[in-house]
Structure formats: structure tokens, C-alpha cells
Structure 1
Amino acid sequence: MVPNSTRGANLISESLAEYTALVLSERKYGKANMKRFLEDELNGYLRGRAFESKKENVFIDCNRSYQWYRKGSLILYGLRDFIGDSLMNKAIRGFRDEFAHKETPPFAGSHDLYRYFESVTPDSLKYYLEDTWKKITLYENKAEMATAKKLEDGIYEVTIKLTSQKLYADSTGQETPAKYDGDYMDIGVFAAEDRDESGRKRTNPLYLEKHKIAPGEHSITLKVRGEPVKAGVDPLNKLIDRKKDDNIIDVEMEE
């Protein structure tokens, strides 16, 4: 597929390739073990924007490799996490069928790919497309405290206290707190890590579900089967959070 010469067109080949690599990694290692891969992509994007010498464009008009490689893979993997394989693949197939093997203009641009993703995304999740493709969006999520008490039959009640805020940045890096009702993000509780049959470190989630989190402070209480060791918000780093290391915290056991 030959992309056109408009700004952002490079993401068609490069971001889709990086996204495919993440999907293949997930198939091999499992969803719960994607943190190291997502964290690497996030670090690459944050480094790139930190050393930006001119201005950062929104993703749909991206013109830097740290955007179409690093940011692009996070954005597309995040969208798949929301809408699922079936709708994601439907959009990509439709885009391919319209533009593959074209020998005459118009050739594909980033807005064409966006159009296909928009067509399959439910209205309740279109904010994610707007935020990731047409705005420069950052999060400040932090796990402040996590406690647990043992009930009976291996059940634990876990309480997670967290703060969350979404920010919009302009091309010069100036940030403004977003006004919104809440965004969907993972809340996770994890047992102790162990090793798989190949000797690789393995993450063991006891709970990993999306909650709609409004800006501000929150206290979330839930029950899990198994002893919790760590807990937090967006623990696998699917969102673009500048301080990713404070998303997850050790669980303190109550008497």
C-alpha cells in the first residue's frame, strides 16, 4: 500500500507495523505480561517529545519517528483494548480493501485510516480517538495507597486510593487540565510474580478491569480471590502517563 504525501501518512505503515508487533507479543506472553513492552514504547515517546526541537504535532498529522513508531503503537494497541479484535480487524480490512494495490490517486492518508477506526468505535469510546489522534493528551494517574484485609476462604477485600487527571498539551508543551466526566482505565490487583515454564517473569492478575474514573481523588474497594501484593491504576501503562512508575503500589495487609 502506497501512502500519499500528506503529513501523517507515514503512520499508516509504521504505526500499523509496531501495533502488529505488540499484538504478536501479547499472543506469546499474554495480556497481563505486556507491561514491559508498553512501558518501552511509552518511554520512547516521552523521550522523543522531551527533546522535540520545534513543535509536537497531533498524531493524525505526525511528522516525527517517535510519534509514528512509539506513540502510534500505544494508540492502536489501546484502541484494540477498548473495542476488541473483531472491530479493530474490521476497520483495518476495510481500509486495506479500499487502498491496497492502488496505482492511481487518491492514495491513502492518515485521515482515511482514522475514518475507518471511527466507523467501528462506539460513541462512548470516541473520546479516546479524539484524544489520541487529534489532541496531545497526557495523564497524571497515581496510586496513593492500597490496603487489604483477609476475609474467609481465600477472599481478600482490597481498597485502592488513587488520583487521576487528564491534561491537554499544545504544540509548545503548555498543558491545560481537561474537563471531562471520566475516562475508562484499568484498575488492577496482582498476586506475587513467579516464573513461567521458560523461566520468564510472569505477572499474575487477581483483578484487571476497566473503571470510569473522573478527575480527582478516588477510593475503590473490591474483592479478590488470592493474596494481593500490588495494586493500582493503569498498571500496564496503556495510557500516556508521564510518571508511570507511581501507577502501581505495594498492598499493605491490615490485621
Structure 2
Amino acid sequence: ANQSSQTEIKKLEMSLHDVTKKIAEREESLANLQEKLHEAGEQSRRQEEETKEMMRQAEEEKKKLQDELDRTRTAEAEKCQQLEEERNELSRVRSSLTETTRQSEGVQGEKDRLEEEVKKTKTMLEDGKKALEELERWKTEVTLKILQLQDKQSAWLLVLDPSLEAKMMSGANSEHSDKTTTLVGLAKKIADALENDEVQAHDILQVMDMMSKLADKAKDEEEKRSETIDELKEELGKLRQRLDEETAAGEEQ
């Protein structure tokens, strides 16, 4: 019985040893599990912190992108407004340039008209000068003819009529009507008188007086034409200056 009890005790001791060993193994396994759980908790905490940091960075990046988008929209709106203003300015400049071109064409037409008028006036002045030279030539020829006739006839006429000298002097100082109104008629009268040898002192003096009046009239017309040309040149200069100014203004625009 004693031996049987000892055997039973050994079995119990062995069973207790096995149980103790299993408990130790389980405690070790539990410790491992607790360590792994702790590591998992740390890892989870780190992941949570990393997630929070990533979310914070994402929010900052989102804010930056939103700010950049707002700035871009504002810049685009300002650019569109500026383009609209430039388009309006371009339209205004185009209209102004069209008006300037129209005015320039009008000024150019006026300039051409005045230049043509100046050419005509110059031609008239040249014709007047030629007529004046022709008058002076006729006056000189008539004067020479008078002297020749006086030298040839005065002695004979004075013998026949001693009072003729006084009549000639009186005729030289008297007023005579202008019977010949054109240079052609005047030249014909002088030519006929010289050809028929019917020239008298009274007629010669009358012709000389008419020639002088025509010469004075031609000189007056020449002076008036010269004044007209000067006025036209001055007006043409003003128009040319105005045209240059408007052209320069159009080029600047």
C-alpha cells in the first residue's frame, strides 16, 4: 500500500510538473503575445501619427493649390479686362486713324487744288510779265518814232503854222479819252498811222499816254498777282504743315 501510494505521488508530481511546465509555456506565450500586442499598438500609434501628418500636409497642399487657383483666376480676369481695354483702345485708334486719313486726303486734295491754282497764277504772272515787256518795247519804239518824226516834221510844220508848237504843248498836258482798250487795237492804230504817214504830235502824245496807262495797269495787275501768289504760298505752307502734323500723329497712333 505504501509503495502504491508513492507511485501515485510520483504520478501526481509528474502531472504537476507537466502542468507547471505548460503553465510556464503559456505564460511565455502570453508574454510574447503581450509584446507583439505592444509592438502592434506602437506601430498603430505611429501609423496614426503618420496618417495625421499626411492629412495635415494634404490640407496644406490643398490650401496652397486653392490659393494658386484663386490667384490664377484673378490674373486671368485681370488679363481679360486688360485685353478688353486694349481692344477698345485699338478700335478707338483705328477710328482715329481712319478719321486722320480722311482729313489727310481732304487736306491733300486742297493742297493739290492750291498747287494747281499757284501754277495757274504763275502762268498768269509770266504772261503779265511778257505783256509788260511787250508794252515797254512798244513804248520804246513809239518814243523813238516820235523823236524821228519830230526831227523830220517839226521844222516844216512850224514854218507853216507857228502856233503849232503851243498846240503841241497844250495837247501834251491835256486829258484824253481812252479810245483804244486793247493792246492789239493800240498796236494796229500805231502801225496804220506810221504806214500812212499820218502821225501827228497830238495823236502820238495820246498814244504815249495810253501806253503809259496800259503799262501802269499791267504793273498793278502784276503786283496784285504777286500778292495773290504770296497768299497762296502762305496758305499752301499752312496746309502742308497741317498735313505733316496729322500724318505724324497718325503714325504715332
TM-score category by the smaller chain?
under 0.3
When you count strand as a share of all residues, which structure comes out higher?
1
When you count helix as a share of all residues, which structure comes out higher?
2
Q: Which structure has the larger Rg?
A: 2
Q: Which has the higher contact order (CA 8 A, sep 6+)?
A: 2
- Structure-1-length-normalised TM-score: 0.20
